[in-house]
Amino acid sequence: MQCNLCGSEEFTDMNSRKNVKCTGCGSLERTRLLWMYLQNLPLKKDAKVLHIAPEKGIYIAFSKRIENGNYIAADLDPKRYLFADSCVHIDLCNLDDWPSCEYDLILHSHVLEHTPCNIAYTLFHLHRMLKEDGRHICIIPFMAGKYDECFQDLSGEERQKRFGQYDHVRKFGKKDIPSHLGSIINMPSVFDATQDFDAHVLQEANIPENHWTGFHMGTVLNFSKNDLRLKN
């Protein structure tokens, strides 16, 4: 097995998940799966990319592919990303001033469960910011049960119990995807990475079989601008 981002052949445990974290770049199984989909995008060198909460391995790999200045790393707390040449501030609950039709690709993983505002607001503006043929590729963690959210002051223990982590404000449930998230954006009916990649390729990148199919913590979603069901 080899990390498809940095080439390392050494992996370590991540919480209860055995041998999934790359010791070279810190990539997780979902990060490596996400990169496989990103590599298949027909992006030109001058494509404009917005990467929210950038993963180190993807940032380094993408920096070699996209022209300097066109690959924009952004986060609510840019100081967390010292590995990036520059990381700008972005607040996904305050996107009104960001330009429309600007980006060929908007990318993020495990971000939307942290944003303390109406999820439809964030998705509307991210798609407004895409070029007409742009793509919005993301990973949203899906958990058992139904959608749940709360923006009130809760303890870390209560957030862990309701949303799966101490700093989450919502849970994306598997039971009501069509009636909740699917009412905002066109969701795929299934996810099956083996339709896009051979099993041995997934295994070589150390992506376990529980990440290959279904809606889970590492499902990669690939949206067009027009997949948003909310219109001006």
More confident residue, 163 or 232: 163
Establish if 1 belongs to a structural domain: no
Look up the pTM and report it: 0.93
CA distance 227 to 182: 10
Contact 62, 38 (CB under 8 A): yes
- Tell me what pLDDT residue 13 has: 85
CB count within 10 Å of CB 7 equals 10
- Tell me what pLDDT residue 68 has: 76
Owning domain of residue 22: 11-227
Establish if 3 belongs to a structural domain: no
Establish if 5 belongs to a structural domain: no
Nearest C-alpha neighbor of 162 from the set 181, 177, 149: 149
Establish if 4 belongs to a structural domain: no
In this prediction, what percent of the chain has a pLDDT beyond 90? 78
Establish if 47 belongs to a structural domain: yes
The C-alpha angle with vertex 140 and arms to 21 and 67, in degrees rounded to 5, equals: 75
Establish if 170 belongs to a structural domain: yes
Nearest C-alpha neighbor of 168 from the set 187, 184, 154: 154
190: number of CA atoms within 13 Å, CB side?
7
- Tell me what pLDDT residue 15 has: 83
Task: Count up the domains in the chain and report the number.
Answer: 1
User: What CATH number corresponds to the domain at position 94?
Assistant: 3.40.50.150
Establish if 108 belongs to a structural domain: yes
- Tell me what pLDDT residue 17 has: 87
- Token readout for 153 is 């002051």
**In this predicted structure, which of 11-15, 75-79, 114-118, 171-175 has the lowest mean pLDDT?**
11-15
- Tell me what pLDDT residue 232 has: 54
61: left (phi over 0), alpha (psi -120 to 50) or beta: alpha
CA distance 34 to 37: 5
Encode pLDDT of 60-73 as tens digits: 998 888 887 899 99
Establish if 2 belongs to a structural domain: no
User: What are 143's strand-pairing partners?
Assistant: 173
User: Which amino acid is it at 126?
Assistant: L
Q: Is the dihedral of CA 166, 211, 148, 95 positive or negative?
A: positive
- Tell me what pLDDT residue 85 has: 85
pLDDT(4) > 80: yes
